[in-house]
Structure 1
């Protein structure tokens, strides 16, 4: 079995490699060549933590495995650690033997950003120029860097529940050579693409904050009860997702379906757009919304690419299992 430590991963994977891996696995999912296992996600009654497992099998890529981990909300303040902690395990699909174990923290950030970037490439208007960010935490910086590689950006605008966090995101925009402006939620109507990346359990972005023609990548809702955007917004939009079963159970769609505003048949997989079996955006006035819950196959696809590179560069540690 190969082990790739968390500290080694930054030198082994790029945003492009992450994007390519996630795009391919979304396409395989839509073609039914890959599938995810049911998600386990529980409040463990300790440190206010959420812990769980996401896994799956990609026949096309020959990738089998799972990611174990979750969200420890007090890590940063108590221990100086990031709040999201995870580890990825890969198995040989022919024998069931463990094949690799990797640190999953950076991989999670990269694959989450790659998913929203895939949605921007395939669903945003060609003339989209302004990115709106809802959320300014750790993941927002990965989201912004990945997004600007998929469109010609003139400006970044942002809102956060805790506005004192916005200057740090502004620094990232400056590194990318982009003007940055903190706005109130009404100011989000200027955005052509809006990325939501918060851990909210109550909607902050309302339908009135979104202009016609906007593409939204909603990336923070991945648990029952979480909600970043008003359910009425999904009723106005053409809704896409990574996986329908997760979208309706733990994603933004859980609320719109619960309110009777949409049904599961109103939601399309982003992989169908990639494969050309769904037309995707059909007008410049259409609002498109990607409900990105984060599927196990995203983690496995990026992890498999990292292991191959780590072995090639002599960084992976081999142990006898």
Structure 2
């Protein structure tokens, strides 16, 4: 069995490789070559933590396994990342555990890669302004991945706690882009692409804020009750997701479907666009929305890729098991 510790991930996995792995697994899901197992996610009644499992099997890549982990809100005070996770990979032929991989950075990279895939396939080619809603730990990964997909000239940002916007400003400066703090109304009016990455229980971005032609990536809603955007936006947009079953139950579409604004059949797989079986965006005026719920197959894809790189670099730790 191989071990790739969290400390080794940063030197092994890049944003481009994460993009490639996630794009491929979305395509495999839409072809029926890969599928996710039901998600388990529970409050454990200790440390205010949420803990769960995401798992699946990709027959095309022979990736079988699970990600175990969750959210511990008190970790930041301890100098730790609030999100903690580990990926376990199993041999698809024998069922033996073949690798244990640190999942914290990989989770950030695969989440950012998912929104980047949606931008690559759904945003207008001439998109120039990137809007960021949320300034938490994940936001900088989102921004760095997004700017690789379009020739953005400016970043505008909003956060519930404005004092945290310096994180976005610093990241934009690192990328050579001007940054502007904006109200949600201003952000919606200016942005060609909007990434929302919050853990909100109530919508921030409203239907009236969104201009025609915008692409929106909702990346924070992964649990029942969470909501980042007004449900009416989904009724006006063409909606895409990583997995339809998750989108309508724990993702952003849960609210629009629950209110009868859209049907399950109105939610499309992003993999169908990648495979060419769905046209994706069909006009410059169309609003497109990607509901990134986060699927276990994403974790398995990036973890498998990092194991290959770790073996090639001679940094994977082999243990008898």
Return the offset for 1:256: 0.4
Return the offset for 1:73: 1.2
Name 1:306's counterpart in structure 2: 306
Instruction: State the distance in 2 between where 1:247 and 1:49 align.
Output: 23
Name 2:167's counterpart in structure 1: 168
Instruction: State the distance in 2 between where 1:205 and 1:50 align.
Output: 26
Unmatched 5+ stretches in structure 1 = none
SS at match of 2:21: helix
- The alignment status of 1:8 with 2:8, answered yes or no, reads yes
Instruction: State the distance in 2 between where 1:152 and 1:97 align.
Output: 45
Matches of residues 40-51 of structure 1 in structure 2 within 5 Å? 40-51=40-51
- The alignment status of 1:120 with 2:119, answered yes or no, reads yes
Name 1:147's counterpart in structure 2: 146
SS at match of 1:177: coil
Return the offset for 1:41: 0.5
Deviations 1:162-186 (A, max 9, x none): 0000012101100100000000111
Return the offset for 1:244: 0.2
Deviations 1:125-152 (A, max 9, x none): 0110000000000000000000000000
SS at match of 2:111: helix
Instruction: State the distance in 1 between where 2:316 and 2:166 align.
Output: 37
- The alignment status of 1:52 with 2:55, answered yes or no, reads no
Deviations 1:243-272 (A, max 9, x none): 000000100000000100001100100000
Name 1:185's counterpart in structure 2: 184
Unmatched 5+ stretches in structure 2 = none
SS at match of 1:235: helix
TM-score normalised to structure 2 length: 0.99
Deviations 1:196-234 (A, max 9, x none): 000001111101111100000000000011000001110
Name 2:254's counterpart in structure 1: 254
Instruction: State the distance in 2 between where 1:245 and 1:93 align.
Output: 24
Name 1:266's counterpart in structure 2: 266
Instruction: State the distance in 2 between where 1:129 and 1:146 align.
Output: 15
Instruction: State the distance in 2 between where 1:250 and 1:141 align.
Output: 24
Name 1:232's counterpart in structure 2: 232
Return the offset for 1:153: 0.5
Moved runs in structure 1, 4+ residues, more than 2 A? none
Instruction: State the distance in 1 between where 2:125 and 2:311 align.
Output: 39
How many residues of Structure 1 are paired with residues of Structure 2 in the alignment?
320
- The alignment status of 1:34 with 2:55, answered yes or no, reads no
Return the offset for 1:80: 1.1
Instruction: State the distance in 1 between where 2:74 and 2:164 align.
Output: 17
Deviations 1:3-58 (A, max 9, x none): 00000010001100000000000000000000000000011111111110001000
Matches of residues 258-297 of structure 1 in structure 2 within 5 Å? 258-297=258-297
Instruction: State the distance in 2 between where 1:284 and 1:305 align.
Output: 36
TM-score normalised to structure 1 length: 0.99
Name 1:215's counterpart in structure 2: 215
